[in-house]
């Protein structure tokens, strides 16, 4: 029997969600893959890695690698998302110079005081949370012809696993956390994602997802919606660029830290006006970051 048939879906009409798939993987643990031909004897159990290697076969100058279980389930979920939601992607370019300068100024003090490194991710999440409060209709899911508006804001953040797969740990009630709380949550979830120590409930119930394509050196991306959510934000690499600076005294050219933001959204329920305005508001909050802010 197909493994997917054994998983109970929690989405609309019993549809499988990504959280269902990842919870299934987490709860049953990794199953060792078949050994490759002429493989060396396996190491003792205590020395085995947290992730099993995919089966490999070689014929001539072609190598065939079997997808691991998580990749198969994620692939199925991605296809389902594209079939379910007509995707539209909008883009803006944001000037995040104040944000960059502020982080550079406080990061040593922050780490010394809080015993945590502050990355840009909690700053991005903070801006997204503010924008969601302004545009709550992107914080929804769809059930047939009904819109389920979530009164809580749970932000998923895509994190890379050692296998190359992605998992999306969720910061619950992100709107109730200050910047220090967001930083601690981001660092904790990211660290435990990399060591395969996330709990099943920590990858469930997200209402909006952020993926950082800039961490791979990419300037922008067209992410696939994490069902049953209706929008996902990709943040690109921050690059220094010459830009026009508008002042009351006139325009000038300066070197600024610029970043592309791209928002994919479900065009069944999020039209261009809502999607574009929401994305612009995220960029506005980033650009208006207070460089004199205290920790």
Q: Which residues contact 195 (CB under 8 A, 6 or more apart)?
A: 50
Q: Which of 47, 271, 284, 290 is catalytic?
A: 271
Say if CB 190 and CB 133 are below 8 A apart. Answer: no
Q: What angle do CA 202, 131, 87 make, to 5 degrees?
A: 75
**DSSP for residue 50:** S
Q: How far apart are CA 103 and CA 66, in angstroms?
A: 43
Active site residue 267: yes
Q: What angle do CA 225, 230, 233 make, to 5 degrees?
A: 55
Q: Which of 175, 205, 257, 267 is catalytic?
A: 267
Token pair, residue 64, equals 């065939």
Measured from the Cβ of residue 151, the count of other Cβ atoms closer than 10 Å reads: 8
Token pair, residue 117, equals 């490194």
Q: Which of 235, 278, 281 is nearest to 260 (CA)?
A: 235
Active site residue 271: yes
Q: What angle do CA 123, 206, 279 make, to 5 degrees?
A: 50
Say if CB 172 and CB 199 are below 8 A apart. Answer: no
Say if CB 171 and CB 155 are below 8 A apart. Answer: yes
Q: How far apart are CA 67 and CA 206, in angstroms?
A: 26
Alpha helices in 2-120, H assignment, sequence order: 18-28, 69-84, 97-114
Instruction: List the beta bridge partners of residue 244.
Output: 253
- Residues catalogued as catalytic: 267, 271
């Amino acid at each position: 029997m197909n493994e997917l048939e054994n998983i109970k879906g929690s989405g609309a009409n019993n549809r499988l969600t990504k959280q269902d798939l990842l919870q299934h993987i987490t709860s049953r643990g990794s199953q060792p893959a078949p050994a490759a031909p002429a493989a060396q004897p396996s190491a003792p159990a205590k020395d085995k890695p947290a992730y099993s290697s995919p089966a490999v076969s070689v014929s001539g100058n072609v190598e065939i690698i079997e997808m691991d279980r998580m990749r198969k389930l994620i692939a199925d979920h991605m296809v389902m998302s594209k079939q379910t939601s007509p995707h539209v992607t909008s883009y803006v370019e944001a000037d995040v110079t104040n944000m960059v300068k502020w982080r550079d100024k406080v990061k040593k003090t922050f780490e010394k005081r809080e015993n945590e490194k502050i990355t840009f991710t909690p700053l991005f999440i903070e801006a997204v949370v503010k924008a969601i409060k302004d545009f709550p209709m992107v914080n929804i899911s769809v059930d047939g012809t009904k819109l389920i508006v979530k009164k809580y804001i749970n932000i998923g953040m895509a994190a890379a696993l050692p296998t190359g797969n992605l998992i999306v740990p969720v910061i619950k009630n992100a709107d109730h956390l200050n910047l220090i709380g967001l930083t601690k949550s981001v660092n904790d979830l990211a660290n435990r994602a990399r060591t395969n120590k996330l709990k099943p409930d920590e990858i469930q119930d997200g209402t909006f997802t952020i993926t950082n394509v800039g961490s791979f050196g990419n300037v922008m991306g067209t992410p696939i919606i994490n069902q049953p959510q209706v929008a996902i934000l990709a943040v690109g690499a921050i690059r220094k660029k010459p830009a026009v600076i508008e002042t009351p005294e006139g325009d000038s050219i300066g070197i600024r830290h610029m970043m592309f933001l791209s928002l994919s959204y479900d065009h069944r329920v999020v039209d261009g006006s809502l999607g574009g305005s929401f994305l612009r508001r995220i960029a506005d909050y980033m650009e208006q970051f207070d460089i004199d802010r205290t920790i």
